[in-house]
Amino acid sequence: MRSREEQQEEELSSRLKTLDLSSWSEVSGTGLVYSEIFTHHQNLWDLSHVERPDRVTFIMSELQRQKLLSLCVTVEPREATEEELLLVHTKHYIDAVKATQTMTQTELQSLSERYDSVYLHPVRTHTHTHTHTHTHTHALQ
């Protein structure tokens, strides 16, 4: 009998094979996903949390100082499709994250405290919400 992890890997592999990649252009190099909106990403109730604006600006400055930024291919973040999110998250989880868009800061903090090292920021733009959701709450699964 296969383990749950093996079943999940097989399911993910099958779902990845169904993605339509025909619209993706072929670019060679190291991709760097960045947007100025990433500098708004901050835990509002724990200012010592590692996810904060100066972390992002420091990384970008350091890449520039080391002359590495010019070697990267800048990739603009985009809203993930529900199909893409379903590759790694359950529908229930996606719906729960969508529901945070109408929560107050207090409600976001309360929900965040249910998880280990996860917080939800009140910035409301689709790209930021989905980028943040996909990148920073992957540990909730």
Ramachandran angles phi, psi of 77, nearest 5°? -65, 150
Closest CA to 96 of 79, 77, 115, 78: 115
Residue 17 above 50 pLDDT? yes
At residue 61, the pLDDT reads: 96
Mean residue pLDDT of the chain comes to 79
- The top-scoring range by mean pLDDT among 5-9, 18-22, 39-43 is 39-43
Q: For 68-84, write each residue's pLDDT tens digit.
A: 999 999 888 988 899 99
At residue 124, the pLDDT reads: 52
- The top-scoring range by mean pLDDT among 5-9, 55-59, 72-76 is 55-59
Domain that holds residue 103: 29-140
Whether 83 is covered by a domain: the verdict is yes
Whether 48 is covered by a domain: the verdict is yes
Banded model confidence at residue 54, pLDDT cuts 50, 70, 90: very high
Q: For 28-37, write each residue's pLDDT tens digit.
A: 788 999 999 8
CA distances to 77, 81, 119 from 20, rounded to whole Å, are: 18, 12, 32
**CA end-to-end span of the chain, whole Å?**
23
Residue 139 above 60 pLDDT? no
Counting the structural domains of the chain, the total is 1
At residue 127, the pLDDT reads: 38
At residue 47, the pLDDT reads: 84
Report the 3 state secondary structure along the chain. CCCHHHHHHHHHHHHHCCCCCCCCCCCCCEEEECCHHHHHCCCCCCCCCCCCHHHHHHHHHHHHHCCCHHHEEEECCCCCCHHHHCCCCCHHHHHHHHHHHHCCHHHHHHHHCCCCCCCCCCCCCHHHHHHHHHHHCHHHC
Give the Cα separation of 100 and 124 in Å (integer).
10
In this prediction the pTM is 0.60
Whether 128 is covered by a domain: the verdict is yes
Whether 45 is covered by a domain: the verdict is yes
